[in-house]
Amino acid sequence: MALNWDKLAKLKRDYPNPKFALSETQRQLKKRKDDPYLLGWQSEVLLSLRTDGKRILDNLKSIISHQPPINDRQLLTYTYELLAEATRRYDPSVACLTSIGTEGLKTWQNAAKTLQSRKARLDLWSELFICAMKEDCWEDVRYALQQASQERPQAKKTISFALILANQLAAEKVEAASSSIPSMNVQIQKAFAYKMVKKAYENTLASSEDPLRIESMRDVRFMTQIFIRQQRAEELGGLMGTQVPEIQKIVAPSFVELTLLVLGSLQKENRWKELLEYATSPTCCRIWDATIQPDQLTTNEKLLLNSWEYWSRIMEAKKHGASESIAIEAVKHDLAEKLPKFEQALQEREYNLTRMALSSFVDHSYLLELCKSYWRRYSQRSSCFYDLLRFVQQLDLDQQQDFHTFIKESAEQLKSQSESDAELSMSNWVQVETNVVRFEYLLTIAVDGPNIDVTEAFISNAVRLYQVAVQLKDGSNHNVGVLVVMGLLNLHYQLVHSKAGNKNDYDRMRKTASILLQAGFLLLHLTAGDSGKQDRSLLLLSTQIHLYLGLGTIAFEQYRHARVKEILNDTLSYLLLSGISQIHPFNATGTKKFSADSELASVIKTIKRMESKANELIYTDIQYFQYDQAIELLEFQRKLKSSATKHFCLIERRRIARLRGDPIDASLTLDLKEYQNITDNRDFTILPYYGTSNDFRFSSLFNPRGFPRLYWIYARYALQEKTSRLLYNEKTYEELDKPMSDLAQQNKNNVQNEPIETELHAYWETIGELTEAIYAGSSNQTDIRSLFQDLQKHVTGIEDVVKELIWSETDHEPGNKSAMPYERGLRFLYGHLEVLQASFRLCDVAKDHLKKNNSTLKGKVDAKAIEAFQKSVKTAYSAIGECATSRIDALKKNGVASLLEQAKWGSTGEGLQEILEKDEQRVYAAEYVDAAVEALKGVTKVKLK
């Protein structure tokens, strides 16, 4: 008697290990060789073991030709998923899977024949509809819909619209995978989707009773998506503009939305002439008709005029649709004629911004005056700086200086006015001054080659304003405080990159350390108390800066208050977790409890849960399918599935596990599909930004390498992860090696490694080459020998460098270097420990290999040489431990005193003394020492083996 689904589920639970499960399937199949449940299970096990593709496909063929036909829906779905995966993996003739094929579908047809009621058959087709969608097999989705439509479903309209979608997406998938001209089938499917959706529109015009008709904005949005995907925006614009009551009743309340969609799509299609014609047509907006007066405009037209997107599309169309001089003349005309005439139709701020945008397009001769005028009107608003930023950046240097002088003078005048005018509050003046300081940052600090004296003066100025703002107790001091911090970060950057001095210029190192520490102290001050805990952007800045200081426990505490949850985990967690394995891999205990690994695991889990929530909305019963939402939900789900944040977190978890000596099992990997088309959802707009758009230093202000880019993931998978997989027999996918290696190669200039990573890259390359040579059984004698020699040199070099960093008694002299490790120091220590761990393991692997009779290493390297190398690895490892311990002792001995000295250093330190009480500084210094000791203790916990 064959198994059933429940018995299979129990067996799968009893045999979680694939190797044991395989033996069990073999044992049981001897007794029941045609059992489809057992065959399915064996296929699943073989797929997980990534072996024997032929047997998997044969097993699955046996299931689908099974007699009597299978009608267990769970088994059908299971078989569908296995067949899709096996075909993708083992059938070389399939470049792009849109269907599991006729034979696979036959099982479903046979199952349908065994069902007596229409409802049961409809349920069966719904099941196929869902599992085909999950496997991205849109041909089969289409097939399921066609079958379902023959079972007299109630939701005829839903099925008809879903069929349009399935055709469109099936065609798109094949088209995307093919580099040649679209096949006839693709063209037919697209034509079908277009004709059907057009018919739905025409049925509405004809007041037909056909369920295939446009009845609501949902249907219109669906129609819009199909038209836009088929690059038929111009036609869509015409159809939506039809003055037929049946259509206008639906589209009129969403006039602006539809108009902007059409304009946006025409822009994407580069159809500039059509864009301009549509944007200026009477159906769109009548201001272009000379006979129309402002009071004749409709509400919809006014709403459109107040939309930036409307104006920006028109400007783009004018720019691309004609020669530059004609475009400029056209915009000049708009500026001189159209805009003033319809000034009342626009809100005041919108009018002013549009005027500036148009002026900046024409030339900059009027822009300066417009910026000044805007400043006069809005300087008391926080948004004033951000509104003007893009325009001030376009002014030439003289104009920028003129503007700078103007705003400073206007703030001065306001100050004297505020003394006599009770209406003008102190908070208004502080806001104006804050905007002045922001522009000062833009125009004097965020420029090429900023001057240290100028930056210090900027900081002093900002500190003075802070002292006024703090009296207001309305939170405005935070905005000014951030400017002080940004000034300090800029100064820090300048000192770090200053050409003066040499590598061991301790004076410069102490200065840079002091500046960063002052920024950290100020951030702790700003984020203390209830109002500080409410400023979550500030807390995230503080998180990042405390990571820069190498103080993981404090960074985590700041991050915790920022309440990063749900979707923010995907977009913002990078601020705490980028490279955390190299800063704080071990759990912290005590009052500042923190586990980087738990936090990383939690982020991955949250992203997966969000994806599964999106799945629930997409993969519904065929009759409840939300066809109008499907495209956007699928895209959203795809971005979560392939989220780069998940990969960054996973890589950090794997690094932590290795440093801790924990096994890397299936829990530290993702599903293979999650590695496809990795998408970066991180939001980089959160940290304060007052610089120019091309300020290359921006992200380096917060972190020495900036934030790792997507390419870093490819490079990491292609080298370190691949090497570790081989060395430690870790769970990952071999089939990723080639695509990741190709992606890494294509983007090798964009990887943007952290400086220590760059230094260590050569070590990893050597370890990687040796590992591959051992596993691939290289026959090249000289290669292996010389590679081992290279590695030996590298490791000896590590020992020499680390010895230099061991803290000695003489280092305690005042004014000498700092015992704090900072991020760079921790990355140095943990990064080298990773290399030493891998080298040590490599030696073990090589020694084991040599013991084999047929070892390809014999004669290329001998056991003695490996032993000697392993010994030098141990020596370097001990030196790193000694270095960490010596610094822990130093910090405990006089860390607080040293940090308090640094807090006072220079003119910036003097400024800080005005803001922070001495006791407060002492508390922060003690916290810093504790956090630094905690971070360094982790270094001593790393085991070599």
Q: How far is the CB of 770 from other proteins (least distance, A)?
A: 42
Q: How far is the CB of 414 from other proteins (least distance, A)?
A: 18
- What is d(CA 145, CA 162) in angstroms, rounded to the nearest whole number? 7
Q: Is 58 in the site for other proteins (CB under 8 A)?
A: no
- What is d(CA 276, CA 273) in angstroms, rounded to the nearest whole number? 5
* 100, 170, 227 from 189: Cα distances, Å: 18, 8, 14
Which one of 354, 434, 542, 669 is in contact with other proteins (CB under 8 A)? 354
Q: How far is the CB of 636 from other proteins (least distance, A)?
A: 4
Q: How far is the CB of 614 from other proteins (least distance, A)?
A: 6
Q: How far is the CB of 388 from other proteins (least distance, A)?
A: 11
59 Cβ contact list (under 8 Å, min separation 6): 39, 40, 42, 43, 46
Backbone angles phi, psi at 857, to 5 degrees: -85, -20
- What is d(CA 637, CA 614) in angstroms, rounded to the nearest whole number? 6
- Mask for 770-799, x = binds other proteins (CB under 8 A): ------------------------------
Instruction: Report residue 862 as tokens.
Output: 């001998």
Which of 123/257 has CB closer to other proteins?
257
* Cα angle 138, 109, 77; round to 5: 60
Asked if residues 554 and 933 have their Cβ atoms less than 8 Å apart, the reply is: no
Which one of 24, 535, 597, 834 is in contact with other proteins (CB under 8 A)? 535
Which one of 2, 94, 217, 926 is in contact with other proteins (CB under 8 A)? 217
Q: Is 474 in the site for other proteins (CB under 8 A)?
A: no
How many C-beta atoms lie closer than 10 Å to residue 328's C-beta?
A: 16
Instruction: Report residue 154 as tokens.
Output: 């109630």
Q: Is 394 in the site for other proteins (CB under 8 A)?
A: no
Q: How far is the CB of 562 from other proteins (least distance, A)?
A: 7
Among residue numbers 595 through 654, which ones bind other proteins (CB under 8 A)?
A: 609-610, 613-614, 616-617, 626, 628-629, 632-633, 635-636, 639
Q: How far is the CB of 530 from other proteins (least distance, A)?
A: 10
Asked if residues 549 and 820 have their Cβ atoms less than 8 Å apart, the reply is: yes
Which of 91/257 has CB closer to other proteins?
257
Q: How far is the CB of 125 from other proteins (least distance, A)?
A: 23
Q: Is 668 in the site for other proteins (CB under 8 A)?
A: no
Which of 382/855 has CB closer to other proteins?
382
Among residue numbers 480 through 519, which ones bind other proteins (CB under 8 A)?
A: none
Taking CB under 8 A as the binding criterion, the range among 20-28, 456-464, 567-575, 821-829 that sits at the site for other proteins is: 567-575
Which of 279/784 has CB closer to other proteins?
279
Q: Is 437 in the site for other proteins (CB under 8 A)?
A: no
Q: Which of 486, 382, 501 is nearest to 444 (CA)?
A: 486
Which of 60/622 has CB closer to other proteins?
622
Q: How far is the CB of 312 from other proteins (least distance, A)?
A: 8
Q: How far is the CB of 671 from other proteins (least distance, A)?
A: 19
Which one of 27, 195, 563, 858 is in contact with other proteins (CB under 8 A)? 563
Which one of 120, 447, 496, 567 is in contact with other proteins (CB under 8 A)? 567
Among residue numbers 677 through 706, which ones bind other proteins (CB under 8 A)?
A: 681, 683, 685-686
Q: How far is the CB of 433 from other proteins (least distance, A)?
A: 17
Which one of 571, 582, 703, 766 is in contact with other proteins (CB under 8 A)? 571
Which of 608/731 has CB closer to other proteins?
608
Which of 374/840 has CB closer to other proteins?
374
- What is d(CA 596, CA 576) in angstroms, rounded to the nearest whole number? 9
Which of 252/666 has CB closer to other proteins?
252
Q: How far is the CB of 570 from other proteins (least distance, A)?
A: 7
Among residue numbers 291 through 310, which ones bind other proteins (CB under 8 A)?
A: 303, 307-310
Q: Which of 434, 491, 514 is nearest to 466 (CA)?
A: 434
Respond yes or no on whether the N-terminal peptide bond of residue 245 is cis (omega within 30° of 0): no
Q: How far is the CB of 144 from other proteins (least distance, A)?
A: 22
Backbone angles phi, psi at 396, to 5 degrees: -80, 170
Which of 65/537 has CB closer to other proteins?
537
Which of 455/527 has CB closer to other proteins?
527
Q: Which of 798, 807, 797 is nearest to 883 (CA)?
A: 807
Asked if residues 174 and 155 have their Cβ atoms less than 8 Å apart, the reply is: no
Q: Is 568 in the site for other proteins (CB under 8 A)?
A: yes
Q: Is 377 in the site for other proteins (CB under 8 A)?
A: no
Asked if residues 42 and 51 have their Cβ atoms less than 8 Å apart, the reply is: no
Taking CB under 8 A as the binding criterion, the range among 23-31, 314-322, 532-540, 929-937 that sits at the site for other proteins is: 532-540
- What is d(CA 181, CA 178) in angstroms, rounded to the nearest whole number? 8
Residue 730, Ramachandran bin (φ over 0: left; ψ between -120 and 50: alpha; else beta): beta
Would you list the DSSP string of 672-730? GGGGTT-B-------S---S-TT-TTTGGGTSTT-S--HHHHHHHIIIIIHHHHHHHT-
Length of the chain: 945
Among residue numbers 848 through 867, which ones bind other proteins (CB under 8 A)?
A: none
Among residue numbers 307 through 326, which ones bind other proteins (CB under 8 A)?
A: 307-312
Q: Which of 786, 887, 798 is nearest to 837 (CA)?
A: 798
* 525, 603, 613 from 568: Cα distances, Å: 25, 10, 16
Q: How far is the CB of 498 from other proteins (least distance, A)?
A: 33
* Long-range CB contact pairs, 918-922, < 8 A, 24+: 920/525, 921/521, 922/896
353 Cβ contact list (under 8 Å, min separation 6): 308, 374, 387
Which one of 57, 262, 353, 430 is in contact with other proteins (CB under 8 A)? 353
Q: Is 215 in the site for other proteins (CB under 8 A)?
A: no
Q: How far is the CB of 737 from other proteins (least distance, A)?
A: 30
Number of residues that bind other proteins (CB under 8 A): 61
Q: In this structure, which amino acid lies at residue 597?
A: D
Q: How far is the CB of 359 from other proteins (least distance, A)?
A: 13
Which one of 399, 537, 752, 789 is in contact with other proteins (CB under 8 A)? 537
Instruction: Report residue 413 as tokens.
Output: 């005048």
Asked if residues 701 and 490 have their Cβ atoms less than 8 Å apart, the reply is: yes
Q: Is 457 in the site for other proteins (CB under 8 A)?
A: no
Would you list the DSSP string of 427-458? HHHHHHHHHHHHHHIIIIISSSS--HHHHHHH
Diameter over CA atoms, the chain: 100
How many C-beta atoms lie closer than 10 Å to residue 376's C-beta?
A: 11
Q: How far is the CB of 446 from other proteins (least distance, A)?
A: 17
Among residue numbers 235 through 264, which ones bind other proteins (CB under 8 A)?
A: 252-254, 256-257, 260
Map tokens 């970060």 to a residue: 489
- What is d(CA 752, CA 848) in angstroms, rounded to the nearest whole number? 37
Which of 350/765 has CB closer to other proteins?
350
- What is d(CA 107, CA 218) in angstroms, rounded to the nearest whole number? 36
451 Cβ contact list (under 8 Å, min separation 6): none
Residue 594, classed as helix, strand or coil, is strand
Which one of 210, 246, 350, 737 is in contact with other proteins (CB under 8 A)? 350
Which one of 146, 178, 270, 383 is in contact with other proteins (CB under 8 A)? 383
Query: Which residues would be at the binding site for other proteins (CB under 8 A)?
Result: 217-218, 221, 252-254, 256-257, 260, 303, 307-312, 347, 349-350, 353-354, 357, 381-383, 386-387, 390, 533-537, 540, 562-563, 565-568, 570-572, 609-610, 613-614, 616-617, 626, 628-629, 632-633, 635-636, 639, 681, 683, 685-686
